[in-house]
Structure 1
Amino acid sequence: MSRLGNLGARLYRGEVGYDFIGKRKIWYGISILITITAMVSLVVPGLNMGIEFKGGAVFTTSKTSVSVAQAQEAAERASGHDAIVQKLGNGTLRIQVSELDTQEANQVEKELAEDFKVDAETINAELVGPSWGKEIANKAWTGLGVFMILVVIYLAIAFEWRMAVAALVALIHDITITVGVYALVGFEVTPGTVIGLLTILGYSLYDTVVVFDSLKEGSKDITKQTRWTYSDVANRSINSTLVRSINTTVVALLPVAGLLFIGGGVLGAGMLNDISLSLFVGLAAGAYSSIFIATPLVADLKEREPQMKALKKRVLAKRAAAAAKGESAQDGTEGSDEDFGGVPGDAAPAGAVVGQRGRGRGRPSGRRR
């Protein structure tokens, strides 16, 4: 078995563990700082909206030897507006100029043909009105709102309302970071960007739901024992699914990275840039939020309940009594504790052996007889 696979098995069995929940204030602080940075970037410098949202014209040339700099200079001189020029993989140029009407677009097309010394018919011009972009934006906001409502309803039914709230906070966190990165790097916001943002919503929830499912199973009958608090169980749930989350995220990021750095950077495919950047940032942010935001937030909300407060008080009292006797609180053999099963506690140091996984009644111990 590989080292990573062996580590994953030990994490799942509860033999080792990292205290994610105990350090949640650090993760909250990091996320708040990143979110504030993303929100500031939305104001300064702001999003670079494409012509689909501002209106304008797109000119596509045939294969040409004209450089990007030369084409940009010619387009800005002919239109009097800023131009965005992209060299496509087949040697053609894509020139975008915002805020042009039909008459102005025709004039720019003629001047570009003269500057490039080609026939005007070889330049394809498409005029885009700003109303189309507004319609796309409105539909995107509607789709986002409907998705959020359905997610909250489903998670509240399948799990509980605290998990639904935590998942919603994580989704908002992921979207804010993704849009903020777009503003920072200056990528143009196009319909492809909107598609990418809507796509990452499902990916962002994937790891979160996996951890929540493990947490739901691990916290059954939790109040019937005195060895583990709810935060302990939440910590175990993160650790037991950690390697799986890392593996699935890396596997998903590799092809998206190929689209972003090879398809967009090398081949110069503009639409691939728009979709792949939002997917890349969204996938990474989703994996982060499921571990460092959603589950710790559930633990915070859950431990405000009177039952969980009482349980935590009993667990800490038992650990204090065991410590006074020089024993480990995890060495207890009460029937209810054994039924519940061992879970790494918050008090365990990172990477330390924190005890074997408990065995319930009727389950084999694994020893040879």
Structure 2
Amino acid sequence: MINFAQIGNDLYTGKRSIDFVKRQKTWYLLSSVLIVLALVGIFARGLNFGIEFSGGSEFRVSGAASTESYEEKARDAIGQAGIGGNVETTIIGQNTVRVQTEAAQDRTAAAQEALGQEFGVPENQVSSTLIGPSWGESVSRQAIQGLLVFLVLVTIVMALYFRTWKMAVSGLVALLHDLVITVGIYALFGFEITPSSMIGFLTILGYSLYDTVVVFDKVRENTAEAFQTRRMTYRQAANLAVNQTLVRSINTTVVALLPIAAVLVVGFTLLGPGTLLDLSLALFIGIAVGAYSSIFIATPLLVDLRRNEPAVVELDRYVAKHADRRPVRVGAGAGARAGEDAGQSAPVGSAGADVTGAAGSYDERADGAPEPAGRPLHRYVQAGPRNQPKRPPKSKR
């Protein structure tokens, strides 16, 4: 039986490791394919905007005697009322039929009467709503303005918090990656975009940013330690951070998706189209894509952006040059220092752990002389007992 708790612990300590950063080309290729498909859906098929954006009339027939052939009945009724254009019909709940048409204007009463006759209900059970396109345009404009303000503020805050603009750029790329793919899925599958969907699109940016910031915070901690101890490359430290936060990211995503999935099931089977279904669908797609980008895109991109920095290049050269002279200790921190103070060796890959394999509980000097674990020697220290001060001759005592 798979012990997920043990796997998570091994990933955190470094006993097991998935090299996310080294395989960045694979993740980039996969994301590129998804983005191309999304753009094809957006520009080739187009977005299916709801009536709130295009304007028109909406009729709802409550308590329909029968919903069989409801699309044909709705088209016949709208045609009898003299309303042209496209007619979209959906079922809401068990016996409510929603009919969307172009603006009915003075033919609204005729449409209500015809729909009541077709579905066998009194005319007062057929409601009508006239929606102008200006309302949807206002919502779209405000949503775009909110998105631009959000991106600017996120860039400033991340650049100040992490003290490097490259982390801010990586986070923004991950955000745009999530947004494009989510909207592209809507276009490819023809899901209707409503004001509730727009709210969902803006909400998923927060979820995506939250996951990315958690990973980046661990990356900053590990890489700062790597620059200080000079025992890991920048890439190794960043990859360790992704592994250490992997289980947390998966758990958070699953916990968030489960209730949303329940709402989707209820919405599709019982409630039908509506604000709840539109919002939950956008959240489900966006949170799933956001978890992917925080793990597979943000950190590998950050490493690529910082790869040629002088400090990173010098650190990589130093670690490669001294890799055969002393053991590698990864993730050094408070736990490592505590283990060293106690004279104990830490687990492989954990803070202060020796990654020598054959050295057991001892570090290995260049000349083969062992040293108790947790007490690394300078590479020029000689083996054997320390030199003692020379004693004066007996005649001079």
> Which gives a bigger RCO, structure 1 or 2 (Cα 8 Å, sep 6+)?
1
Q: Does 1:115 align with 2:118?
A: yes
Gaps of 5+ in 1: 323-328, 343-352
Q: Does 1:357 align with 2:360?
A: no
| Closer/same/farther in 2, CA of residues 312 and 84 from structure 1, 3 Å limit | same
Q: Does 1:290 align with 2:291?
A: no
Q: 1:137 & 1:272 partners in 2: Cα distance?
A: 19
Among 242, 255, 273, the residue aligned to 1:251: 255
Q: 2:304 & 2:334 partners in 1: Cα distance?
A: 21
Matched residue, 2:327:
331
- What's the secondary structure of 1:331's corresponding residue? coil
Matched residue, 2:387:
none
Among 110, 123, 128, the residue aligned to 1:125: 128
5 Å-filtered alignment, 1:1-369, equals: 3-67=3-67, 68-75=70-77, 77-78=79-80, 79-97=83-101, 99-159=102-162, 160-319=164-323, 322=324, 331-332=327-328, 355-358=349-352
- What's the secondary structure of 2:271's corresponding residue? coil
Residues 88, 94 of structure 1: 8 Å contact kept: yes
| Closer/same/farther in 2, CA of residues 337 and 265 from structure 1, 3 Å limit | closer
* Matched pairs, number: 341
Normalized against structure 2, the TM-score is what?
A: 0.80
Q: Which amino acid aligns with 1:129?
A: G
Matched residue, 2:390:
none
Residues 75, 83 of structure 1: 8 Å contact kept: no
Q: 1:204 & 1:337 partners in 2: Cα distance?
A: 26
Q: Which amino acid aligns with 2:50?
A: G
Report runs of 4+ in structure 1 exceeding 4 Å deviation.
336-342
Residues 226, 337 of structure 1: 8 Å contact kept: no
Q: Which amino acid aligns with 2:10?
A: R
Q: Which amino acid aligns with 1:150?
A: L
CA shift for structure 1 position 100? 1.2
Normalized against structure 1, the TM-score is what?
A: 0.85
**Higher helix residue share:** 1
CA shift for structure 1 position 173? 0.4
| Closer/same/farther in 2, CA of residues 340 and 225 from structure 1, 3 Å limit | farther
Residues 341, 359 of structure 1: 8 Å contact kept: no
- What's the secondary structure of 2:304's corresponding residue? helix
| Closer/same/farther in 2, CA of residues 44 and 339 from structure 1, 3 Å limit | closer
| Closer/same/farther in 2, CA of residues 121 and 306 from structure 1, 3 Å limit | same
CA shift for structure 1 position 40? 0.6
Q: What percent of counterpart residues are identical?
A: 43
Residues 65, 121 of structure 2: 8 Å contact kept: no
Residues 225, 337 of structure 1: 8 Å contact kept: no
CA shift for structure 1 position 112? 1.6
Whose Rg is larger?
A: 2
- Range moving further from structure 2, 88-97 or 70-79: 70-79
